[in-house]
Amino acid sequence: MSENELLRTVCAQNKRLAELGLVILTEGNVSQRQDSVMAIKPSGIPYNRLTSDSIVIVGIASGHILISEFSRAPSVDTPIHLEIYRRFPEVGGIAHTHSPYATAFAQAGQPIPCCGTTHADAFFGEVPVTRILTEQEVEGDYERNIGVLIASMLKPDAIPAILMNGHGPFTVGKTAQEAVDNALILEKVAMLALVGLQPLYLPSYLQKKHFLRKHGQAASYGQL
């Protein structure tokens, strides 16, 4: 993928967040890794004004801005994305939203339980929630400390999503598009879990069946 293609891809996937109703105004962000760099949404730019020229390229190892049209600053969540990419070379895209149902679980400090096969198709077990950051972590390198905490709990191959306690959801994928797809699925399963008056937990064997038929080595879902 060329640099221009990377910028266009990341711009389009950021715009999808708004189109899918997963964010409003300027909240949220999407990034994609390519080799030793990542491209990410600029800070504070409304989605309806976002263009490929707006996207910022940052070095993953250094954290330095490498390309930024009009000297725009990258998302304030850039250190979070960098920590995830540094920890997981298999992750190629990250999405952060403030989608209502998933964020409700994050604000309550509760994981999203697996209550049905819609959840099990995408996530192998409950979607975890982090602890609250300490006052020292908040007053220190705040965003990097969020990234370190998320990276310490994330399991991209089984549960490509996590809830930052009191904040909101982060999802990952092999590409930015897959990360946004996972954010959309996450919001749906959060809604289904939240509206159930007495959620019934899906048996573990049924969770395993649905996850592995799409993601396991012997996967049978889709065109082989």
Active site residues: 121, 221
Query: 137 near 125, Cβ under 8 Å?
Result: no
Query: 98 near 27, Cβ under 8 Å?
Result: yes
In the 3-class helix/strand/coil scheme, how is 115-150 assigned residue by residue?
CCHHHHCCCCCCECECCCCCHHHHHCCHHHHHHHHH
Query: 30 near 41, Cβ under 8 Å?
Result: yes
Q: Residue 73 corresponds to which tokens in the numbers above?
A: 């600053």
Per residue in 106-119, is it b (16+ CB within 10 Å) or e — as a string? beeebbbbbbbebb
Query: 151 near 221, Cβ under 8 Å?
Result: no
